[in-house]
Amino acid sequence: MEVIIRPTPERAALLTARIIAAELRAKPDLVLGLATGATMEGVYTALAAMHRSEGLDFSHCSTFNLDEYIGLAQDHPSSYHEYMRQHLFSRVNINRSRAHLPDGMAADLDAECPRYEERIRQAGGIDLQLLGIGRDGHIGFNEPLSALRSRTRQKALTPATLAQNARYFGGDAGKMPKRALTMGVGTILEARRCLMLVVGANKAEILARAVEGPITAMVTASALQLHPACRVIVDEAAAASLEGQDYYRWIFQDECEWGAYRDDPSV
């Protein structure tokens, strides 16, 4: 795992977008795992800007989102289908037939889960999985005690997650679906590379537990410590509780793989 600290949330999001863009340029038919949430909005805005101004081409890539609420229609304003349409898909030249999310309205939800896994397999597996972290340490909707080898499945949301995401439902957690379909921790760990973006002081404590604490199903993001190629991009506020801050700063300043980004004052 590699942790990279940037001064502001904007620069952390832009660095994340630049890493995605570099992978997409190197492999136009990239299979990209996508995430939702407030943290990702800056990443998608930056990718849309690169599409407009630099011709970043999404036409050959495939995408697979981590999760979707159960029981929300695709065009419900708070569904993740709608989030993705609004923040990314409508702003770039992605082929919508290759942009996948789990179907939270499937008549047979248990059958939808292996079907989603099969679609990922048929696409050749995920090359790069973008991730955020929930305040309860989840990746996707893998809430505490999710098996670290879990696959795509239905999951009941925790009160912490309901409270965190109520803002998308007019501030009323009572209006939120209580269950979601989510890729499993095991599914996520099979991605060839993982890229987690974490910003804000309210994530500092859970980030430190995920990155530097023991691997535990209580903090499913901690399973990323097992991944052979996981980068974690954070801003100063989120980094505040990390013990290894000096080392992480040194990595960005001295390691040659980061040279191209170091010289760019916007990241």
Residue nearest to ligand PGA (CB): 37
CB 36 within 8 A of CB 79: no
Query: Known catalytic residues?
Result: 67, 136, 138, 143
Identify the residue among 39, 146, 182, 187 touching ligand PGA (CB under 6 A): 39
Polymer length in residues for the chain: 267
For ligand PGA, give the closer residue by CB, 98 or 189: 189
Rounded CA Rg of the chain: 17
Binding part of the chain for ligand PGA, among 16-24, 97-105, 132-140, 242-250 by CB under 6 A, reads: 132-140
Q: Does 129 bind ligand PGA (CB under 6 A)?
A: no
The one among 38, 105, 123, 240 contacting ligand PGA by CB under 6 A:
38
**Residue 173 binds ligand PGA, judged by CB under 6 A:** no
- 12-20, 104-112, 129-137, 149-157 -> range binding ligand PGA (CB under 6 A): 129-137
For residue 132, the minimal CB distance to ligand PGA (Å) is: 3
Dihedral, 98, 101, 107, 109 alpha carbons, nearest 10: 130
Helix, strand, coil percentages, rounded to 5, for the chain: 45, 15, 40
**How many amino acids of this chain bind ligand PGA (CB under 6 A)?**
6
Task: Pick the closer one to ligand PGA by CB: 62 or 142.
Answer: 142
Q: What span, in angstroms and rounded, lies between the C-alpha atoms of 223 and 144?
A: 12
User: How many angstroms separate the CA atoms of 214 and 222, rounded?
Assistant: 7
Residue number with CB closer to ligand PGA (98 or 198): 198
Count of beta carbons in the 10 Å neighbourhood of residue 78 = 16
* Residue that the structure tokens 């082929």 belong to: 95
**Residue 71 interacts with ligand PGA (CB under 6 A)?**
no
When asked if residue 184 is in the footprint of ligand PGA (CB under 6 A), the reply is no
Q: Of the candidates 121, 132, 155, which has an alpha carbon nearest to the alpha carbon of residue 35?
A: 132
Do the Cβ atoms of 240 and 13 come closer than 8 Å?
Answer: no
Smaller CB distance to ligand PGA: residue 62 or 165? 165
Residue 9 makes contact with ligand PGA by CB under 6 A: no
- The reply on whether position 132 binds ligand PGA by CB under 6 A is yes
Handedness of CA 113, 115, 118, 120 (dihedral sign): negative
What does the binding site for ligand PGA look like in residue numbers (CB under 6 A)?
37-39, 132-134
